[in-house]
């Protein structure tokens, strides 16, 4: 959540010091190393599967499988993050990703690599990252003083965006020079180093203040109810489904567009420049978000981002050159990221600290839920109907979200600074949800 530094504190020398000191710097370093490796695999994995299969459907399936584990396991992962030692979870999840990704170049060297192997490795690594993401919320809260959480989150976002800008271009060049399989080996090594650093985080397990008899279902329900009951957070989260549906269509077909529409070969290192352009779009959105939130209502930012995304998607669909494709993809990614970040900052600002992990994993699952469906549908549509129809259908997510958003009170919402000082306006939960809460509370009382 966003916050200002503690009053009266001496200004530290570095952004990491401002955020929380040596433990935070170690956490940031470990994250940066694994993010760099993942940025390389972002290009190398779809390249490898497309080179082996030539199938847009399988390429889209890869993107879907990388998202599905978060949708299936994000809720329990968020609840477990409040129960377990985050250092252990972060280390073990990084080690699991290392082993799964390392199996790809090893199998390729032995002549035993299959398309199924690639899909399993991608899905398994995404599963490990689901637990790492949830534990990261807990670790960050333990390493950073509450008054500096906003600075820490912003610094992490800036670093990850810069890596997203440079990493894919490096991944494309690396895959072109050494082969996509060798590029994935670099990602595996990055997770090995990250696992080692995560085990050295200065974290000590703290006893939970919650009853040991509370069920996992009850704790998950708390996060779900908070997201549902807060009208603004609920609206932004639901609109995110349409935003992520279109994102699945676009990101799942970048390689296919590059080969079929921009006339690049599947082993052309310039494909990485398209991913780098998307990273530049994310960076642009990160830089624009804070000033926009100071001057505009948060609802306007979301609606404007959805509208801009539709315009740039039209340009991306019509692109026939690398330069035009990169520029329009940059614009689309900036708009897409602006909508996502606006929703994230709003809920991090308004959610109670003790619910941060559960609220964020809950909202991410809902808002991100359209991405795997979009990736899978985009690949299948491109396979059977062609690339143009696939991108056209992909725009339906943004169009529906924009239409729905204009029919809500989102146009009249306050700026972010006003929301901080305004009590949330809860909405009445569905009767079934209220009955579930009463049932679980009664069960907890009986078990206690």
Q: What is the pLDDT of residues 226-249, one digit of tens each?
A: 888 888 888 899 898 888 888 888
d(CA 282, CA 302): 15
**Under CATH, domain 222-448 is a member of which superfamily?**
MFS general substrate transporter like domains (1.20.1250.20)
Residue with tokens 């599905």: 68
Give span(s): CATH 1.20.1250.20, the chain: 15-202, 222-448
Backbone angles phi, psi at 317, to 5 degrees: -65, -30
Q: How many helices (H) and strands (E) does the chain have?
A: 18, 0
The whole-model pTM stands at 0.66
Mean pLDDT of 143-170: 72
Around Cβ 20, how many Cβ atoms within 10 Å? 22
Mean pLDDT of 176-193: 89
Q: Percentage of the chain with pLDDT > 70? A: 83
Q: What is the pLDDT of residues 319-329, one digit of tens each?
A: 888 888 889 99
Given a contact cutoff of 8 angstroms between Cβ atoms, the answer to whether 341 and 243 are in contact is no
Q: What is the pLDDT of residues 5-37, one digit of tens each?
A: 333 333 344 444 444 567 889 999 999 999 988
Mapping DSSP onto H, E and C, the string for 189-232 reads: HHHHHHHHHHCCCCCCCCCCCCCCCCCHHHHHHHHHHHHHHEHH
Specify which residues 230 forms β-bridges with: 426
d(CA 144, CA 151): 9
Closest CA to 388 of 320, 308, 306: 320
pLDDT score for 193: 95
DSSP of 160-179: HHHHHHHHHHHHHHHHHHH-
Mean pLDDT of 269-298: 83
d(CA 278, CA 168): 9
Count Cα neighbours of 142 within 13 Å in the Cβ-side half-sphere.
21
pLDDT score for 420: 61
Fold category of 15-202 in CATH: Growth Hormone; Chain: A; (1.20.1250)
């Amino acid at each position: 959540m966003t916050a200002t530094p503690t009053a009266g504190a001496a200004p530290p020398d570095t952004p990491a010091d401002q955020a929380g000191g040596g433990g935070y710097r170690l956490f940031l370093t470990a994250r940066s190393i694994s993010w760099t490796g993942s940025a390389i695999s972002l290009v190398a994995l779809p390249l490898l599967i497309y080179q082996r299969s030539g199938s847009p459907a399988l390429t889209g399936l890869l993107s879907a499988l990388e998202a599905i584990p978060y949708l299936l396991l994000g809720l329990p992962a968020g609840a477990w993050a409040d129960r377990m030692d985050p250092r252990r979870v972060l280390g073990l999840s990084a080690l699991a990703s290392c082993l799964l990704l390392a199996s790809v170049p090893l199998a390729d060297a032995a002549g035993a690599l299959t398309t199924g192997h690639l899909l399993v490795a991608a899905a398994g690594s995404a599963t490990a990252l689901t637990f790492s993401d949830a534990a990261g919320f807990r670790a960050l809260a333990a390493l950073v003083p509450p008054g500096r959480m906003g600075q820490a989150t912003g610094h992490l976002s800036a670093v990850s965006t810069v890596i997203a800008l440079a990493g894919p271009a490096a991944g494309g060049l690396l895959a072109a020079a050494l082969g996509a399989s060798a590029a994935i080996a670099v990602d595996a090594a990055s997770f090995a180093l990250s696992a080692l650093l995560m085990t050295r985080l200065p974290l000590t397990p703290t006893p939970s203040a919650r009853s040991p008899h509370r069920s996992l279902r009850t704790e998950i329900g708390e996060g779900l109810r908070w997201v549902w009951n807060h009208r603004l957070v609920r609206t932004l989260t639901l609109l995110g489904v349409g935003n992520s549906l279109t994102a699945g269509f676009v990101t799942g077909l970048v390689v296919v567009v590059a080969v079929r529409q921009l006339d690049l070969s599947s082993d052309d290192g310039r494909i990485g420049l398209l991913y780098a352009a998307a990273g530049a779009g994310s960076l642009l959105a990160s830089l624009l978000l804070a000033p926009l939130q100071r001057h505009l209502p948060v609802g306007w930012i979301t609606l404007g981002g959805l509208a801009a995304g539709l315009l740039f998607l039209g340009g991306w669909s019509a692109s026939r050159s690398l330069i035009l494709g990169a520029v329009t993809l940059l614009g689309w990614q900036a708009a897409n990221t602006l909508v996502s970040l606006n929703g994230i900052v709003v809920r991090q600002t308004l959610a109670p600290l003790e619910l941060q992990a559960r609220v964020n994993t809950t909202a991410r699952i809902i808002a991100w839920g359209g991405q795997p469906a979009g990736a899978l549908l985009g690949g299948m549509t491109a396979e059977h109907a062609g690339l143009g129809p696939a991108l056209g259908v992909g725009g339906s997510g943004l169009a529906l979200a924009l239409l729905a958003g204009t029919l809500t009170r989102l146009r009249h919402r306050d700026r972010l600074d006003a929301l901080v000082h305004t009590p949330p306006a809860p909405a009445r939960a569905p009767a079934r949800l209220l009955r579930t809460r009463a049932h679980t509370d009664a069960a907890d009382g009986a078990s206690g």
